Amino acid sequence: MFVRDETPIAGLVWLRCLALHVLVLTEQRLRTALETQGTELAGVNPASRTQTATTPTTERVLRAFRTLTVTVVTGVGWEHRHVSALNATQQQILALLNLPSDLYARLAQPPGNLALQMPES
């Protein structure tokens, strides 16, 4: 990539570092929760959906969510949104990460001020 100014490169490096930090923290929180609860996570191994894991990788956890869809149909003056339902593995992952169970369902709501919609922890 050729640029005359180094600012975009610094911004991209910072963004990649932030993304890596999020991936590492997600994996660590998930593994800690599984260890604390003494449970295992099923459905994250693409070769065997019934195989369980006590140390799932963030990559496999993200793959578990790839089947989700958000459909937005718009017309003049109206918009309708639909989200597919979460399966048991996806619901367990959200619970292990202490994320609200309706986090994904909120995508069906019309966009607004997201800061006002987030519950306080």
Average pLDDT of the chain to the nearest whole number: 85
pLDDT of res. 33: 94
Residue numbers of the chain with a pLDDT score lower than 70: 1-3, 111-121
Q: Which two tokens stand for residue 90?
A: 């996806």
Q: Which two tokens stand for residue 94?
A: 């959200």
Is the separation of the CB atoms in 70 and 85 below 8 Å?
no
Q: Which two tokens stand for residue 23?
A: 């991936």
- The full set of domain ranges for the chain reads 7-117
CA distances from 32 to 40, 44, 54, 55, 61 (A): 11, 17, 9, 9, 14
